[in-house]
């Protein structure tokens, strides 16, 4: 897995991504804690939602263990669309 | 799957030209290319602003670029058939156009994004752009409007070689 600079937590981040922003088409989503959420660059995951490409969801460039085709920040929570449907971030993992 | 490559542009001062290629790939004569992903972002501007972007084909005359060779994603794969090139010629790739080139540009996907959030294009499998060998045009990710704040831009295109 190649970790690109934009996937990492920046030294200073003043911008918190607005609610209802989804990636894609946004490249990064930054939450209230300053954590940067991105999708890894690995197409053809076998555990993708049907009919879509999916990628490992990264938090500050570290895999969360969840593969999703997209994710969004909604009502202060990050949630990801997986083969099993929408999952939300608890602070430790997606359920 | 294998033989996937990325043409990266990392933390550069973007051109201030309108309709300039951020990343440009011109296929050669060997295999087809399937374009899987493209992105743009910047870290030089902390103020919300919109930027127009488009996937476009361009015929000769091609843009003048900073030569950038594709990077292997799967580390055991062979090097790409595409090599770095500054002239946008067939079989080459480059980034951050310094001259846009007079060739006709044809938009495929046009969009706009907030520079604070960046832009990521990921198609569904049926929407991938497939470029057969020997075409007279190249394909790129373009800033459609001139970039207002040019500092610290990054971008990239991921493609797969078929056949």
pLDDT greater at residue A79 or residue A15: A79
Share of chain A above pLDDT 90, in %: 60
- Count the Cβ atoms, other than its own, within 10 Å of residue A76: 9
Q: Which of residues 74-103 of B touch A (CB under 8 A)?
A: none
Flag whether pLDDT at A44 surpasses 80: no
Query: In the prediction, which pLDDT does A38 show?
Result: 96
Which residues span the domain enclosing B125?
4-162
Interchain CB contact of B113 with A (< 8 Å): yes
Q: Which residues of chain B, if any, have pLDDT below 50?
A: none
| Residues A58-91: tens digit of each pLDDT | 999 999 999 999 999 988 899 999 999 999 999 9
Question: Which of B37, B48, B119 shows the shortest C-beta gap to A41?
Answer: B37
The CA distance from A65 to the nearest CA of chain B, in Å, is 20
Is residue B28 within 8 Å of B81, Cβ to Cβ? yes
Distances (CA, A) of B159 to B47, B72, B140: 32, 10, 12
B163 touches chain A (CB under 8 A): no
Task: Give dist(CA B85, CA B69) in Å, integer.
Answer: 7
β-strands B83-84, B92-99 pairing: parallel
> At residue A13, does pLDDT exceed 70?
no
Cβ B158–A52 below 8 Å, yes or no?
no
**pLDDT recorded at residue A47:** 84
């Amino acid at each position: 897995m190649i970790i690109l600079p934009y996937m990492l937590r920046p030294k200073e981040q003043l911008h918190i991504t607005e609610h209802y922003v989804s990636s894609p088409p946004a490249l990064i989503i930054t939450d209230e804690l300053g954590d940067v959420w991105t999708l890894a660059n690995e197409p053809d995951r076998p555990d993708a939602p049907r009919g879509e490409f999916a990628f490992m969801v990264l938090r500050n460039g570290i895999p969360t263990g969840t593969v999703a085709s997209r994710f969004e920040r909604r009502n202060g929570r990050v949630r990801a669309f997986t083969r099993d449907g929408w999952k939300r971030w608890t602070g430790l993992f997606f359920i | 799957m294998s033989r996937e490559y990325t043409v990266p542009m990392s933390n550069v001062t973007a051109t201030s030209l309108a309709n300039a290629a951020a990343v440009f790939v011109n296929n050669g004569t060997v295999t087809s290319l399937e374009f899987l992903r493209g992105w743009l972002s910047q870290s030089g501007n902390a103020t919300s602003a919109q930027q127009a972007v488009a996937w476009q084909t361009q015929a000769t005359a091609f843009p003048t670029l900073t030569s950038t060779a594709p990077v292997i994603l799967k580390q055991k794969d062979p090097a790409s058939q595409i090599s770095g090139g500054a002239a946008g010629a067939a079989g080459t790739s480059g980034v951050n156009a310094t001259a846009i080139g007079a060739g006709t540009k044809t938009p495929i996907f046009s969009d706009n994004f907030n520079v604070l959030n960046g832009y990521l294009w990921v198609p569904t499998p049926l929407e991938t752009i497939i470029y057969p060998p020997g075409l007279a045009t190249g394909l790129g990710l373009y800033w459609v409007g001139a970039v207002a704040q040019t500092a610290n831009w990054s971008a990239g295109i991921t493609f797969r070689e078929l056949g």
